[in-house]
Amino acid sequence: MSKGSILYIGGFELPDKNAAAHRVLNNAKIIRELGYEVFFLSVDKNLPFGSSVMDTKRLIAGFPSWFIPYPDTRAQWIHYLSSIKDFITVAAQCSDLKAVICYNYQAAAFVRVMKYCRQNNIKVMADCTEWYSTKGSSLAYKILKGLDSLLRMRLIHKRVDGLMVISKYLESYYVKNDCLIRIPPLVDLEEEKWRAGSEQESCPVKFVYAGSPGGKQKDKLDLLIQAFYELDPNYDFRFIIVGISREKHLQHYGEQAGLLDVLGAFL
């Protein structure tokens, strides 16, 4: 018998379009094992703005999921950062809603979600994985994103009913929260993609980066390339990059064109 339902909301792109999607899906599987029904409200970059959220429902790994468009224009961003209309619509579809989990959620909308939950006797929780930096950004972005991050990290997360964090750093920062748990990135070993053969492969050793680094402020792929470039050329290895093209990388790190040429066969 179900213990009730939990609604997971945020900027993840189900089923597997960003790292956030993998995290929330695996967390949801644990929550389902605990006896709760889990629902998702996700973003979809291919969905036209103005689409009705009720027309987007589909099953993702067995979880009922709804989708909202990812903003593009300034007006769309203002709406995305503040409106909870679609959240309320989806929340009404979740029978016996016990809790809402907000994944790195935008501050203005987060406050409104909290108010809604308090009024309806629903627990509000947060899943915190990143403390965003505005270094190197425009003044407008610094003001908007900086304020959003400040409110969420220093105020809102300290007032939720439960908090999940991804790292020891965040765990130590929120150590005074009454209900706190650290959940590192998880994988489901039952998924086919993890059932690779156990036979030892011959050299070279393979190093793989998979992701979509956000410019110069995230993931530091340039440092990895520099490190591999400086290795002894007698080492037999391959460094495989998945998720970003050579051309896209060089838009931010044009000075590494020569390094990539030298590494050549290793990339």
- Least confident segment among 8-12, 76-80, 118-122, 142-146: 142-146
- Res 88: pLDDT: 98
Percent of the chain with pLDDT over 90: 61
Residue with more model confidence, 166 or 247: 166
User: Would you place residue 248 in the very low, low, confident or very high pLDDT band (cuts 50, 70, 90)?
Assistant: confident
Please, which pLDDT band fits residue 193 given cuts at 50, 70 and 90? confident
What share of the chain has pLDDT > 70, as a percent? 91
The pTM for the full model equals: 0.82
Nearest to 159 by CA among 182, 178, 183, 181: 178
Answer for the pair 25, 50: CB distance below 8 angstroms, yes or no: no
* pLDDT exceeds cutoff 80 at 198: no
Domain 5-182, architecture per CATH: 3-Layer(aba) Sandwich (3.40)
Segments of 104-215 assigned E as strands: 123-128, 162-165, 180-182, 205-210
pLDDT of residue 132: 80
Q: Check if the beta carbon of residue 145 is closer than 8 Å to that of residue 132.
A: yes
Mean local confidence (pLDDT), 5-16:
96
| CA–CA distance, 190 with 175 (Å, rounded to integer) | 33
pLDDT of 202 > 70? The answer is no
Q: What is the mean pLDDT of residues 42-66?
A: 96
Strand partners, 129: none
The answer on pLDDT for 196 being more than 80 is no
List every span in the chain annotated with CATH 3.40.50.2000.
5-182
Name the least confident of 6-15, 51-60, 209-218: 209-218
